[in-house]
A and B are shown apart, each in its own frame.
Chain A
Amino acid sequence: MGIPTGKIGPRKWIRFLAERLTPRYQRDFIAGDLQALALVPRLYAWRAAKAIACIIKYQMIASFDVWLVTGEASLLWVAIAGSPFLPSIVLLMLVLAALRVRDAYIYSAGGSPGAMAPEAGGIAMFVFLAETALGWTAPSLALPTERMIQGAVIGAVTLPAWRMIFRKGEPLDKRPRELQESLVAAWHMNLLWAAAGVVLSLTNAAAVPEIIHGRDFLLGGLPVVLLCAAYRLQKDHFTGMHPRAPLSLFRDPRQDELLHQSAMLWFPDRRKSSKLPAYVYAEVLYFVVLVLPAGLAAWRWISGDSSAAQVDWRQLAINVGAMAALAALWICIKRLNRQTALALRERAERAQAPDSRGQNE
């Protein structure tokens, strides 16, 4: 079966349009093939439309990530907070669909600050145009003007930032990607765990009213201080954050980055000579301070103190359970930090000496 051709090729503007509408990843190759087919304009347009639609569909599936979409939906929902429910859902669906089409065009590009500006402008413009169109065609589904402006402005700032962070630095090789995912997971867990400890200390103070002035201030701030002290005591760089090695022609930046990432984790820089390192004392003291209000409340009750009646025993019971969970999680989190730090160090050593590894094999 032959491919029908004609003497007259497609017009320039049709070729240009087809080229711009083709997703980035195969644009030049498809444009060249379509041009080489030398089809009559109508057939060229039809073939190009079918090819482009097929590739957009494939790219949308390839670029889809449920966590990316969940983050986008959450941020947009917060951006239009206070808006009526149905118009919010409609706008959410429209913006998410538009972002999927956008991903189809730019996939498999990684996130970058340079891509944020056009995305921010695009999102704001899309929200404005979509709401304007809805205002004309289906006013009941359109947001109020002030909510639309609020959603456009906040969405234009938060969504591109989320998309940049999400797609930034996705290594293509499996092992580096797994390491980076492990590192991100470790940091998320560290920060969430620390935040949970702060919330716990604040609710402890609320559950057990102070009878000594200034106790709440101490119990609120002391856990944070102890946690920071425990972190710094296990590091060689006591006076500040782990310093990055200056850029140099004689050093491998990948190795420096891996060592820096390893050093920032909750893991001792080197094994200390003492049996029980100082940071362990700080960690234990942290849990002691957390459980102190419960101990004070128990003492008040045992001693028959009248202030025991002011204690919120239900909140205290919940907090004791939460503290036990926090302590159990701490063991898992430290293990994750240790494993990730060791894996990063191992990768840094392999990056430093690939030749010696080859000779040993």
Chain B
Amino acid sequence: MKLTESLGQFEQLILTAVMALKDNAYGMQIYSKVCEMADREMNLGSVYVTLDRLQKKGYVTSKVAGGGPERGGKPRRFYSLRPAGVQALTESVETATRISETFWRFGKWGSQRAK
């Protein structure tokens, strides 16, 4: 039974990127990972806005650390998944898996694949 709010597709991408990057999950890295997974260019602003929204929902937490010379000394905000975020992502992936299985079994391409 679902215990958390449904995630939008972009939120799923963000949470997955944060999970995959582990200790290196800050703005630019998350952005690059999301672009890689989505296979298209994304808006950096959308990444920050979604991270902020996920933080308000309690799915991620953040801490600020200093930046290097490549950033002009500007700080970085590192994000990490909270247990609620892990659960929301897990439920979301399970839903996507069920959709995928049903699609390949009954969809137009699914019947061809079965053949």
Taking beta carbons and an 8 Å cutoff, which residues of A are in contact with B? 1, 3, 26, 28-38, 47, 50-55, 58
Contact = CB atoms under 8 A, between A and B. Distances in A.
A32 B27 CA distance: 9
A1 B39 CA distance: 6
Given A1-B36, A55-B48, A29 B43 contact: no
B70 interface: yes
A34 B48 CA distance: 12
Interface of B: 27-28, 31-32, 35-36, 39-41, 43-46, 48-49, 52, 67, 70-72, 74-77
A34 B44 contact: yes
Chain B facing A: main interface SS: helix
A51 B49 CA distance: 10
B45 A53 contact: yes
B44 A51 contact: yes
Contacts of B32: 3
A54 B76 CA distance: 20
B31 A33 contact: yes
B45 A1 contact: no
A52 B43 CA distance: 10
> Top 9 closest A-B pairs, CB basis?
A32-B74, A54-B45, A51-B45, A32-B71, A33-B28, A51-B44, A58-B49, A33-B27, A55-B45
Contacts of A32: 27-28, 67, 71-72, 74-76
Contacts of A52: 45
A238 B28 CA distance: 63
A36 B28 contact: yes
B71 A50 contact: no
Nearest to A47: B44
Contacts of A26: 48, 52
Given A1-B39, A1-B41, 15 more contacts: A26-B48, A28-B75, A29-B74, A29-B77, A32-B27, A32-B76, A34-B44, A35-B71, A36-B28, A37-B28, A50-B45, A52-B45, A55-B49, A58-B45, A58-B52
Contacts, number: 66
Contacts of B46: 54
Contacts of B36: 1
Contacts of B31: 33
A31 B74 contact: yes
21 contacts: A1-B41, A3-B35, A26-B48, A26-B52, A29-B27, A29-B48, A29-B75, A29-B77, A31-B74, A32-B27, A32-B67, A32-B74, A33-B71, A35-B71, A50-B44, A50-B45, A51-B43, A51-B48, A53-B45, A54-B43, A55-B49
B70 A36 contact: yes
Contacts of B43: 50-51, 54
B45 A35 contact: no
A3 B47 CA distance: 15
Contacts of A37: 28
A1 B48 contact: no
Nearest to A59: B49
B45 A30 contact: yes
A54 B49 contact: yes
A33 B39 CA distance: 20
Contacts of A35: 70-72, 74
A36 B48 contact: no
A51 B32 CA distance: 14
Contacts of B48: 26, 29-30, 51, 55
Contacts of B27: 29-30, 32-33
Given A1-B36, A35-B71, A29 B76 contact: yes
B41 to A, nearest CB: 8
Given A29-B77, A33-B31, A1 B71 contact: no
Nearest to A56: B45
A33 B49 CA distance: 14
